[in-house]
């Protein structure tokens, strides 16, 4: 769990210090007060661009010095990340005071989040679902982010060479395709391992009060099972050159989710059912990570209770408590969390954080 969180010039927070004393941390306040900004700061303790996917420069406080810092103490180790005014746009990471890569953060902490923007996940682009799948996968396979970065770099280099295929060095193309094969195979294997384990865990979950999903990977899977990706890419150079992009590989994967009880794709379900499917996946994943890593993930839930009736809220809080992990939640009203008797309650007002009365 995060024992101490500090923010410096992050979004609308000039400085903030949060020291949780319970597994549940509840952030309440008006819209625009800075509640989600705190969740975003926590999400920066994981590889990637945080729960908003924002540019680093956008995270620096307006009218501030031009950089920001976020630090979290986890099991006595301080994880820190930020941007200095002198190196705007370049993220720096330190672990225990030593410079490190952002991917190394996954060795110390697994973080999963659910935001209102994700309510449209099943109607979003395949890329949005793929990023969601990769965040879940990263919690079980910390090397997943590194494989993804290397795969993308090799693919971009290949695409640049294919832009002038007649002058491209075939040996260099073959080397790049071999890299894509190596790292793409690792991506594919990690994603499928996650999906298999999640489906096994979901099969043991109750049908109520949240819908039970069946998940699968779709897209570029069939050809990848029968032919190594490197050979296929070599054969498809002319096609990809004409298209201006690579058309085969795990970057074409999509996440397919079925509402089991209704035998219906999630994209055709109601908004409430889609939210319930997401919650089921998140809860199953938290239990899976706890078993696999020996520690549950930190869950960031933005406005998760807003559209749930009291009985479903109580059921959700019980399921969250059962994960054994730390849960950060936001809401506009403290009454949304009345079913929780033990929690760290904080009020956020215009970028300031205050301890609330319990």
pLDDT tens figures, 49-76:
899 999 998 999 988 888 999 999 999 9
Task: Give yes or no for residue 358 having a pLDDT over 60.
Answer: no
End-to-end CA distance of the chain: 21
DSSP, collapsed to helix, strand or coil, labels residue 284 as helix
Residue, of 139 and 43, whose pLDDT is higher: 43
Please give the pLDDT value at position 224.
47
pLDDT tens figures, 177-193:
999 999 999 999 999 99
Gyration radius from the chain CA atoms: 22
Please give the pLDDT value at position 223.
47
Report the chain's mean pLDDT, rounded to a whole number.
91
248 in Cβ contact with 235 (< 8 Å): no
Interhelix angle 170-203/271-293, rounded to 10 degrees, is 100
Task: Give yes or no for residue 164 having a pLDDT over 80.
Answer: yes
pLDDT tens figures, 333-344:
988 898 888 899
Lowest mean pLDDT among 26-35, 96-105, 201-210, 336-345: 201-210
Under 8 Å CB-to-CB from 234, ≥6 apart: which residues? 173, 174, 177
Under 8 Å CB-to-CB from 303, ≥6 apart: which residues? 115, 116, 330, 331, 332
pLDDT tens figures, 204-263:
877 667 789 999 999 875 444 578 999 999 999 999 999 999 999 999 999 999 999 999
Q: Hey, what are 48's tokens?
A: 């990637």
Alpha carbons 103 and 47: distance in angstroms, whole number? 5
Strands ordered across the beta sheet of 98-100? 13-18, 2-10, 68-74, 77-83, 92-95, 98-100
Please give the pLDDT value at position 329.
96
Strands (E), the chain: 2-10, 13-18, 24-28, 68-74, 77-83, 92-95, 98-100, 111-114, 213-218, 254-259, 264-265, 298-301, 327-331, 344-349, 352-355
Please give the pLDDT value at position 17.
96
Q: What is the dihedral of CA 336, 340, 343, 346, to 10 degrees?
A: 10
Query: pLDDT confidence of 27, banded at 50, 70, 90?
Result: very high
Share of the chain above pLDDT 70, in %: 97
Residue, of 185 and 357, whose pLDDT is higher: 185
Of 106, 90, 129, residue with least CA distance to 255:
129
Under 8 Å CB-to-CB from 240, ≥6 apart: which residues? 158, 159, 162, 233, 246, 247, 248
66 in Cβ contact with 145 (< 8 Å): no
Alpha carbons 155 and 180: distance in angstroms, whole number? 7
356 in Cβ contact with 39 (< 8 Å): no
Alpha carbons 90 and 143: distance in angstroms, whole number? 22
């Amino acid at each position: 769990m995060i024992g101490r969180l500090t923010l410096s010039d992050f979004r609308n927070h000039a400085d903030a210090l949060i020291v949780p004393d319970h597994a549940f941390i509840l952030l309440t306040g008006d819209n625009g007060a800075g509640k989600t900004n705190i969740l975003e700061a926590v999400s920066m303790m994981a590889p990637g661009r945080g729960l908003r996917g924002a540019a680093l420069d956008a995270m620096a406080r307006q009218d501030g010095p031009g950089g920001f810092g976020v630090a979290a103490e986890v099991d006595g180790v301080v994880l820190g990340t930020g941007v200095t005014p002198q190196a705007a746009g370049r993220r720096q990471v330190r672990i225990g005071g030593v410079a490190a890569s952002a991917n190394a953060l996954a060795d110390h902490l697994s973080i999963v989040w659910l935001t209102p923007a994700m309510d449209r996940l099943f109607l979003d682009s395949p890329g949005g679902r793929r990023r969601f799948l990769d965040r879940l996968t990263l919690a079980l396979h910390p090397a997943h982010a590194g494989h993804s970065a290397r795969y993308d770099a090799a693919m971009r280099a290949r695409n640049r060479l294919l832009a002038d295929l007649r002058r491209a060095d075939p040996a260099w193309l073959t080397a790049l395709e071999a890299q894509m094969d190596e790292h793409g195979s690792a991506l594919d294997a990690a994603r499928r391992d996650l999906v298999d384990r999640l489906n096994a865990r979901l099969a043991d979950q109750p049908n109520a009060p949240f819908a039970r999903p069946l998940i699968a990977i779709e897209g570029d899977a069939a050809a990848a099972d029968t032919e190594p990706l490197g050979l296929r890419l070599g054969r498809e150079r002319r096609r990809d050159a004409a298209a201006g992009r690579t058309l085969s590989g795990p970057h074409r994967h999509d996440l397919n989710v079925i509402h089991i009880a209704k035998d219906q794709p999630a994209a055709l379900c109601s908004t409430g059912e889609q939210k319930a499917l997401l919650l089921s996946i998140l809860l199953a994943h938290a239990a899976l990570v706890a078993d696999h890593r020996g520690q549950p993930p930190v869950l960031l839930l933005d406005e998760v209770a807003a559209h749930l009736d009291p009985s479903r809220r109580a059921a959700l809080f019980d399921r969250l408590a059962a994960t054994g992990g730390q849960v950060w939640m936001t809401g506009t009203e403290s009454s949304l969390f009345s079913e929780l008797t033990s929690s760290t309650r904080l009020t956020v007002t215009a970028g300031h954080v205050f301890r609330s009365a319990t």
